[in-house]
Amino acid sequence: MNWNQIDNEEIINTIIETSKEKPVLIFKHSTRCSISSMALNRLTRSWNEEEMAIVSPYILDLISYRGISHKIAEVFDTHHQSPQILLIKDGKSIYDTSHMSISYSDLKSQLALM
């Protein structure tokens, strides 16, 4: 899986613009949390590049970039959680979930609704 890194606030604008062409997945990952590591591992192991060519994946290390994590919550009008995924389309969060609710099959279902 080829994640795009979120390491500055300007990337949020890139995500918004990209989401006008194709959906964007944001994974907010706590590198100190075993649940976050497990959710990331489950998603990564299931990821199928061919199926998911329709989405642009981004990952945020929220321990290193906590301020960006809060900015994402503000911009996309979501509550901050960790781990958390957000699906962005046309500059808006159309789906978000966290912890053990993060699943590849649910993400695929959400993308199929678009």
Q: For the chain, what are the domain ranges?
A: 4-112
Report pTM: 0.95
CATH number of 4-112: 3.40.30.10
pLDDT at residue 33, rounded to an integer: 94
Instruction: Please write the tens of the pLDDT for every residue from 12-51.
Output: 999 999 999 999 999 999 999 999 999 999 999 999 999 8
Mean pLDDT over all residues of the chain? 95
pLDDT higher than threshold 90 for residue 1? no
pLDDT at residue 78, rounded to an integer: 95
70-74 contact pairs (CB < 8 A, 24+): 71/9, 71/12, 72/6, 72/12, 72/26, 72/28
